[in-house]
């Protein structure tokens, strides 16, 4: 039986790395499985399309999934990742914000939003966003490092 989300979110703050890792995996699993096997299958297929270079098809699949399941947070997040990978930061930001509005604890979407802000040179917004991600995952070395890098860019 899976842990309740509150417990997983609390475990992200544990001093024990193994507990944090398990919680992280548990949350990703929960998010990917939000719409059951059918939703998961579309996410996987779109990822395979993207990995094989068929970005347009991957985007179409995710857009159709979003249209049919507008509350499917991971579909928004995956499309945001796709846009980010293409350098389309404006559209990625929009999808990240939608994912976060649906799930304010989605550290992946929050991290992605910070990456977008950094990519467009909005370092103070990036720093604030990475700090927000650290509130959920205080031990994230990646977000800590990105805060330092963005802070250096301000000077």
Question: Could you tell me the two tokens for 95?
Answer: 């999808």
CA distance 74 to 68: 13
User: CB of 80 within 8 A of CB of 88?
Assistant: no
Q: What is the pLDDT of residues 120-134, one digit of tens each?
A: 999 999 999 999 999
pLDDT for 120: 98
Domain 5-154, CATH number (from 3.30.470.20, 1.25.40.10, 3.40.50.2300, 1.20.1090.10): 1.25.40.10
Which of the four pLDDT bands, split at 50, 70 and 90, describes residue 87? Answer: very high
pLDDT for 2: 64
pLDDT for 112: 98
CA distance 32 to 108: 12
- What pTM, to 2 d.p., does this model score? 0.95
């Amino acid at each position: 039986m899976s842990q309740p989300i509150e417990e997983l979110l609390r475990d992200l703050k544990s001093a024990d790395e193994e507990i944090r890792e398990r919680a992280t995996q548990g949350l990703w699993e929960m998010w990917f499985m939000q719409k059951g096997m059918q939703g998961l299958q579309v996410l996987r297929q779109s990822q395979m399309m993207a990995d094989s270079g068929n970005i347009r098809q991957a985007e179409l699949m995710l857009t159709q999934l979003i249209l049919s399941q507008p509350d499917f947070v991971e579909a928004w997040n995956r499309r945001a990742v796709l846009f980010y990978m293409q350098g389309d930061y404006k559209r990625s930001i929009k999808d990240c914000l939608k994912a976060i509005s649906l799930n304010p604890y989605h550290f992946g979407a929050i991290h992605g939003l910070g990456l977008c802000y950094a990519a467009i040179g909005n370092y103070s917004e990036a720093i604030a966003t990475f700090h927000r991600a650290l509130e959920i995952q205080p031990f994230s070395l990646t977000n800590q490092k990105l805060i330092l890098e963005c802070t250096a860019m301000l000077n």
